[in-house]
């Protein structure tokens, strides 16, 4: 009878160790992917701002009829 409980405790312990390991790996990977995505978003935003500052770039605004047209410089 005690052998069954010992065997069950060992299986539960192994399952718990595997679960915690997989959970840690998952959090590390998602954290890394989030950091990479935030960095890419920041770089993309800086590039867009540099391109917008170049001469000859026209800002388009949505008109009352839903069509995008050059907007007024405000």
- Quick: pLDDT tens for 10-37: 999 999 999 999 999 999 999 999 999 9
Q: What is the CA radius of gyration of the chain?
A: 28
- pLDDT for 19 equals 97
- pLDDT for 40 equals 95
- The predicted-structure confidence for 47-70, as pLDDT tens digits, reads as follows 999 988 888 888 888 888 989 888
Rounded CA-CA distance 10/12 in Å is: 5
Count of structural domains, the chain: 1
The structure tokens listed for 6 are: 């010992």
Contact criterion met (CB below 8 Å) for 68 and 62: yes
Contact criterion met (CB below 8 Å) for 69 and 63: yes
In a domain, 43, yes or no: yes
Q: Coil, strand, or helix at residue 48?
A: helix
Its pTM stands at: 0.52
Domain that holds residue 35: 1-48
- pLDDT for 73 equals 56
In a domain, 66, yes or no: no
In a domain, 23, yes or no: yes
């Amino acid at each position: 009878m005690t052998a069954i409980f010992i065997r069950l405790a060992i299986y539960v312990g192994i399952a718990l160790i595997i679960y915690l390991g997989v959970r840690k790996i998952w959090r590390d990977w998602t954290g890394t992917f989030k950091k990479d995505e935030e960095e890419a978003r920041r770089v993309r935003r800086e590039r867009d701002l540099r391109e917008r500052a170049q001469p000859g770039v026209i800002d388009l605004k949505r008109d009352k009829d839903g069509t995008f047209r050059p907007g007024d410089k405000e």
